[in-house]
Amino acid sequence: MPSKNHFSTLYLSAPDVIALVQRKGVEACLRGMADYLHADYLRWNAFDKSARVASHSRDGVIELMPIADDQTYAFKYVNGHPKNTRWGLSTVMAFGVLADVATGAPLLLSELTLTTALRTAAMSAVAARALARPGARTMGLIGNGAQSEFQALAFHHLLGIDTLRLFDTDPAATAKLQANLQGTGLRTVVCTSTAEAVRGADIVTTVTADKTNATILTPDMLAPGMHINAVGGDCPGKTELHADVLRQAQVFVEYAPQTRIEGDIQQLPADFAVTELWEVLAGQRAGRASDAAVTVFDSVGFALEDFSALRFLRDAATELGMGQPMELIPELSDPKDLFGVLRTRSPLLRAAA
């Protein structure tokens, strides 16, 4: 509980989070986030949930993603603008807040651009541990852009993937990915098409950026026992999988009301059968039906994952003594007299005098 008349919010800037990840290490952050995610998904019914609120434009989307339990409220602001790289901006940019439910006081304000890539990769690994066949060692990675390294390392460290079969329509993206993965122990094989990249793969991750109804993966590319981690289809009008891929597979989602609007299953009728992942993690529903079954994790990103990521950041920052206090809320000598702050000379004005 904040002290009377004074409250500060912990602020983690982009440089702070970069330094935090460097100090802890990427593997430790992925493992830590995966642990927080798994723990929070097991508390699924404790959360007040809703689909994210999205504002779509010709060039992209801006979204708010809220969620809360009885102690903590969280939200993320995030965009998705595929053309941003033309202007030197990230396709996805984000920040987030943790707040105290009892008082409404904002506890943490943090960057979430880097963090979103980490939490998305950790979530992919959490799902794959529940759905992929044990012993998976080869992954086809379709789309080698900004999130690809995180996906590759999450599957390497958390599932034991040792070989990546890579394809991107931009060869420079693949070269970038290979350079960034040097020294990680991952073997990379550059392929000339999606079909070549998925050949022999135990797991296929699709993480493309174009805001189109694409068919990156088609039914002829499926193999018995394959697990598909479909990450890139995450808003209305943006898909990666041919509809028949979904019809031939067991499909798992984060939060069905949101995924039916945004995920690859938007192509199918509203009564198409899916299983929410939390049910599998909690042991309430079966996962993979057999070694030969094809499983799909139709991942669009859900607010619970940002809740988990923000909790992880707050705890890691506290452990490492990182971040800065921010006076986001005015300090009031009388909480009923907000106007009074304008009658007292501001410290900034005193400093400028």
Q: Please check whether residue 165 lies inside any domain of the structure.
A: yes
Task: Select from 260, 281, 301 the last residue of a domain.
Answer: 301
Q: Please check whether residue 35 lies inside any domain of the structure.
A: yes
Question: According to the model, what pLDDT value does residue 232 have?
Answer: 87
- Tokens 């609120």, residue? 53
Q: Please check whether residue 23 lies inside any domain of the structure.
A: yes
CA 350 from centre of chain: 44
**How far apart, in Å, are the Cα atoms of 81 and each of 56, 240, 341?**
10, 17, 40
Same domain, 152 and 110: no
Contact indicator for 298, 251 with CB cutoff of 8 Å: yes
The strand ranges marked E within 57-186 are 61-68, 72-80, 94-100, 106-111, 138-142, 163-167
Same domain, 323 and 216: no
Q: Please check whether residue 348 lies inside any domain of the structure.
A: no
Domain containing residue 101: CATH number:
3.30.1780.10
Q: Please check whether residue 182 lies inside any domain of the structure.
A: yes
Q: Which of the residues 234, 264, 298, 306 is marked catalytic?
A: 234
Q: Which amino acid is at 52?
A: R
Range of the domain at 109: 10-114+305-329
How many other CB atoms are there within 10 angstroms of residue 95's CB atom?
18
Same domain, 205 and 183: yes
- Distance in angstroms (rounded) separating the CA atoms of residues 125 and 123: 5
DSSP 271: T
Same domain, 85 and 141: no
**pLDDT digits over 195-240, tens only?**
999 999 999 999 987 667 789 999 999 999 999 999 987 778 889 9
Question: According to the model, what pLDDT value does residue 245 have?
Answer: 97
Same domain, 254 and 271: yes
**pLDDT digits over 271-291, tens only?**
999 999 999 999 999 999 999
What's the structural domain count of the chain? 2
- Distance in angstroms (rounded) separating the CA atoms of residues 131 and 141: 17
Same domain, 254 and 317: no
Among residues 179, 289, 165, 180, which one has the least CA distance to residue 224? 289
Same domain, 18 and 87: yes
Structure tokens at 294: 């094809």
Same domain, 266 and 201: yes
- Tokens 């009564």, residue? 271
Same domain, 318 and 224: no
Summarize the chain as % helix, strand, coil (round to 5). Answer: 40, 25, 40
Domain containing residue 196: CATH number:
3.40.50.720
Q: Please check whether residue 231 lies inside any domain of the structure.
A: yes
Question: According to the model, what pLDDT value does residue 333 have?
Answer: 87
Same domain, 107 and 173: no
- Distance in angstroms (rounded) separating the CA atoms of residues 278 and 265: 18
Mean pLDDT by 10 residues, the chain (353 residues): 68 98 98 98 98 91 96 96 89 95 97 97 98 97 96 98 97 98 97 97 91 86 98 86 97 97 95 97 96 97 98 98 95 91 76 63
Same domain, 197 and 241: yes
Q: Please check whether residue 223 lies inside any domain of the structure.
A: yes
Look at the chain and count its residues.
Answer: 353
Among residues 135, 127, 134, 164, which one has the least CA distance to residue 149? 164
Task: Select from 286, 301, 316 the last residue of a domain.
Answer: 301
- Distance in angstroms (rounded) separating the CA atoms of residues 156 and 137: 9
- Distance in angstroms (rounded) separating the CA atoms of residues 34 and 125: 8
59 is catalytic: no
Q: Please check whether residue 340 lies inside any domain of the structure.
A: no
Same domain, 93 and 33: yes
Question: According to the model, what pLDDT value does residue 1 have?
Answer: 47
